[in-house]
Amino acid sequence: MDEQQRSMAGQNRTKSVPALEWIASAVGLALMLAIIGFIGWEAYQGTEDEPPMIEVRVEKVLSVGGGWVVEFAAVNRSPSTAAAVQVEGTLNRDGREVATSQTTLDYVPGRSERAGGLFFDEDPSAHELSLRALGYAEP
C-alpha cells in the first residue's frame, strides 16, 4: 500500500496534469481563438476605406437652471472611428438663426454612439432645432 501510494504521489508530481490545469488551459484556448477569430473576421471585412458617417439625433430637451439643454446621441453608421467630432446645434425661427451651440466629442467609435448635450439660453422647443456633426479628425 505504501509502495502504491508513493508511486501515485510520484506520478502526480511528475506526470499527471491537474484537472484544473486542463480547465484553465481550455478556457484560455477558447478565449484566444474567440478573440483572434473575431478580430480576424473584422480584419477580413476591411473597414479602413469607409469614412465615418455620423448622424446626430435629439434625445431629450430639458430645462436646467435658467436655460435649456439638448441631449443628443451621435451615431456612427460606418465601421470607422471618428475622433474630435464637433457637433453643432442651431435654433431657427422664421428662417433666421437665433442661437448656436457647439461641443466636441473625443471619439465616436465605429458602429457606436456617444452622447452629449448642448446648452441654450432660449427654449429649443419654441424654435426649430437642428443638430449636425461639423467634422472629425482621424484617430
- Contact residues for another protein, defined by CB under 8 A: 1, 5, 8-9, 12-14, 16-22, 24-29, 31-32, 35-36, 38-40, 42-43, 47-48, 79, 81, 83, 107, 109-112, 139
Beta bridge partners of 108: 82
- Does residue 27 sit in helix, strand or coil? helix
Closest CB 59 distance from another protein, rounded Å:
13
Q: Which is nearer to another protein, 28 or 67 (CB)?
A: 28
Q: How far is C-alpha 40 from the chain's CA centre?
A: 19
Q: Which is nearer to another protein, 19 or 64 (CB)?
A: 19
Closest CB 110 distance from another protein, rounded Å:
6
Closest CB 131 distance from another protein, rounded Å:
20
Closest CB 120 distance from another protein, rounded Å:
27
Alpha carbon distance 49, 52 (integer Å): 10
Judge whether 128 and 70 are in contact, CB under 8 Å. no
Alpha carbon distance 136, 139 (integer Å): 9
**CA-only gyration radius of the chain, Å:** 28
Q: Which is nearer to another protein, 13 or 96 (CB)?
A: 13
Q: Which is nearer to another protein, 47 or 104 (CB)?
A: 47
Nearest 5°: CA angle at 75, between 71 and 78?
A: 165
